[in-house]
Amino acid sequence: MAPSSLPVVLAVSGASAQPLAERALQLLLQDDLPVEMVTSRGAIGVWQAEMGLRVPSEPDAQERFWRERTGCSSGRLHCHRWNDQAAAIASGSYLTRGMVILPASMGTVGRIASGVALDLIERAADVHLKEGRPLVIAPRELPWNLVHLRNLTRLAEAGARIAPPVPAWYHQPTTIGEMVDFLVIRVFDTLGLQLGSLQRWQGPVGRPAPDEVSTP
């Protein structure tokens, strides 16, 4: 199977910043990419608390919900129940292009770093580490204490890429949507995917050419 046809695992844990996950899903589907999505029980609660959204836990209903919510009929979407450790993505024999946890709670980070898999997100992350496949973790917490730093370091040493959703201003965002796009696209750059469109850094505007710089 060609790498481009392999699915991307999109995991959403119970941290604030759920709009990043929604936009990531939308961009992946718009690019006609296959997506295996798992939303933790905590994330479903955060959706309700922060955005007033009732995300179904039953996979078929959740797929219909996201199709309607994102307005995308393209791509292949397969949702999993948060605790279904018999799912395909819980097995190393099921090939994927990589996994992104966006956003990643520090509880999820700590359990993965300790090799503990209490739900499907943690099991799938463990599978990606043991199989040497790309695992991108986008922790959403501020500030980081020493326990957080050590857990993230352990994951980096085990092969994960740590990509916190840190904003920038060089692309001159004027809306929250533009900032969300920047954060999502940069996280997926780490997985080698170029989603959507982004004004990327090209160097300072108006910088003089080398032959225009005066010599003292």
Annotated binding site for FMN: 14-16, 40, 105-108, 140
Nearby residues of 102 by Cβ (< 8 Å), 6 or more positions away = 10, 11, 12, 17, 20, 21, 24, 136, 138, 165, 184, 187
Burial (CB count <10 Å: 0-12, 13-18, 19+), residue 9: buried
13's tokens: 């844990």
Annotated binding site for dimethylallyl phosphate: 170, 186
Residue numbers in the known binding site are: 14-16, 40, 105-108, 140, 170, 186
The Cα–Cα gap between 194 and 20 comes to 16
User: Are 90 and 1 a contacting pair, CB within 8 Å?
Assistant: no
Whether the CB-CB separation of 124 and 13 falls below 8 Å is answered with no
Q: CA–CA separation, 153 vs 24, rounded Å? A: 25
**What 3-state DSSP class applies to 143?**
coil
- Residue 10 pairs in a beta bridge with 37, 100
Helix ranges restricted to H, the chain: 18-30, 41-46, 59-70, 106-113, 120-130, 146-158, 176-189
